[in-house]
Structure 1
Amino acid sequence: MSGKGEMGMSMHNNLPSTATQPDLDWSQVRETVRMLNLAVAQIEVAMREGDDSVETLTNSFTSMIESSSSIVQAVERLQNTGKDEGLIAEVEKESSLISEKMQAGVIAFQFYDKLSQRLAHVSHALAALSELVEDGSRIFNPNEWIGLQTKIRSKYNMREEQAMFDSLLEGKTVDEVLANGVGITHEPDNDIELF
């Protein structure tokens, strides 16, 4: 056997060296990139599954909104006849409860939307980090790291994300940031839109 490349290729069927089967070409950088790519893949799968569920819920809410609207129209017709006042009051009450539950559901969707945005940002940041770490010509260049940090922060459109990013880059630990509530959304948006 003439060289490490040939030995590595013949022993591992042309696969790159891994931590479970290291050879002279083994690299902790490559292992780091694999773990980053795994995290990106897991986030992407979770987001796709979540999107499917949200689409189903959205369709259900749209249908409930249409039904609620039909109930309101029926109550208006009943009111015009002046009959069954007790029944009219009960239908109005139930319609109001449906509307309240839909509002609560919409607020939950808003939180899911923020979760989805955060996961997308994490996924993009990990992918960009993976590319930087994998590139031997960039990994030791401080300007490349500054560029990466600038690129990541520019993707953050929520104040909470920006505050968390800034706090962590200032040197605070994750525990300190979370203990102070930095990056945590406390209240839903007040501008609720029904589909």
Structure 2
Amino acid sequence: MVELPLGGSAAHNPDLAWDQVRETILMMGIAVAQVRHAMEEGSASFTTLADSFAVTCQHIESLRNDLTQILPTLPAELDLPNKISEINAQNMQSIIAFQFYDRLSQRLEHVCSTISELAVLVSDHALPHQAHAWLDLQRKIRSQYTMEQEKVLFDAILHGDPIHTALIKAGNISINFDPKPRPADDGGVELF
């Protein structure tokens, strides 16, 4: 986590010791705190939904078993086997969506880590002027990535690609500013 300077911002009342690095680190701290706060709120909702889907699956299976015991041959017009299969398929789609949320959480955690590491580097007045310190930072940040898309994005930006090009190279990204919904593309779902 970003180590914040004591005393908060001095921008409203600068003195001779005022330093833009201190203000930069405070702003980085705000960004990390906001991301972590959003992740904590999202995590609680995610857990509730995941538990709900697990319980729903159990109840559906229990109902199916109970019905087949009571009525060994179910009336065909009820179409229960197909309805149960459709509900299970929808639940599986929801579980896959939860895995995408997990990927989002991992990426946001990596953003927080990157900002924190950057704050450490710029807080040492000697390090920002040393190329090897920046190379060490880059290696450390890249080594923390767990998804290939993150590594591709990182490498593309460090090699000078514009952000939109780096996003396209990372894959599973559609650069489209048209708000109309587009058909889903699984683009190689990476499951955890």
Give the shorter-chain TM-score range. Answer: 0.7 to 0.9
CA distance in 1 between counterparts of 2:16 and 2:172 reads 45
Cα deviation 1:111-142 (Å, max 9, x = unaligned): 10100000000001100101111111322221
- Decide whether aligned partners of structure 1 residues 175 and 97 sit closer, same or farther in structure 2, where only a CA change above 3 A counts: same
Please name the residue that 1:125 is paired with: 114
User: Within 2, Cα distance between the matches of 1:181 and 1:78?
Assistant: 56
Change (3 A) 1:51 1:70: same
Distance 1:128 1:190 in 2: 27
Contact 1:40/1:126 (8 A) holds in 2:
yes
Deviation at 1:97, TM superposition (A): 1.8
Conserved? CA contact 1:17–1:25, under 8 Å: no
Distance 1:16 1:101 in 2: 49
Partner amino acid, structure 2, of 1:131: V
**Structure with the higher helix share, 1 or 2:** 1
Report whether the alignment pairs 1:141 with 2:130. yes
Bigger radius of gyration: 1
**In the alignment, which residue of structure 1 is the partner of 2:102?**
113
* Length-normalised TM-score, structure 1: 0.80
Q: Which runs of 5+ in 1 are unaligned?
A: 1-13
- RMSD of the alignment, in Å? 2.3
1:73 aligns with 2:62: no
Q: Percent identity?
A: 35
CA distance in 1, matches of 2:45, 2:39: 10
Q: How many residues align?
A: 175
**Is the Cα contact below 8 Å between 1:33 and 1:134 reproduced in 2?**
yes
Runs of 4+ with deviation above 6 angstroms: none
Measure, in 2, the Cα distance between the counterparts of 1:36 and 1:122: 11
- CA offsets per residue over residues 4-60 of structure 1, 9 Å max, x none? xxxxxxxxxx94662222122111111111111111101110110111001101110
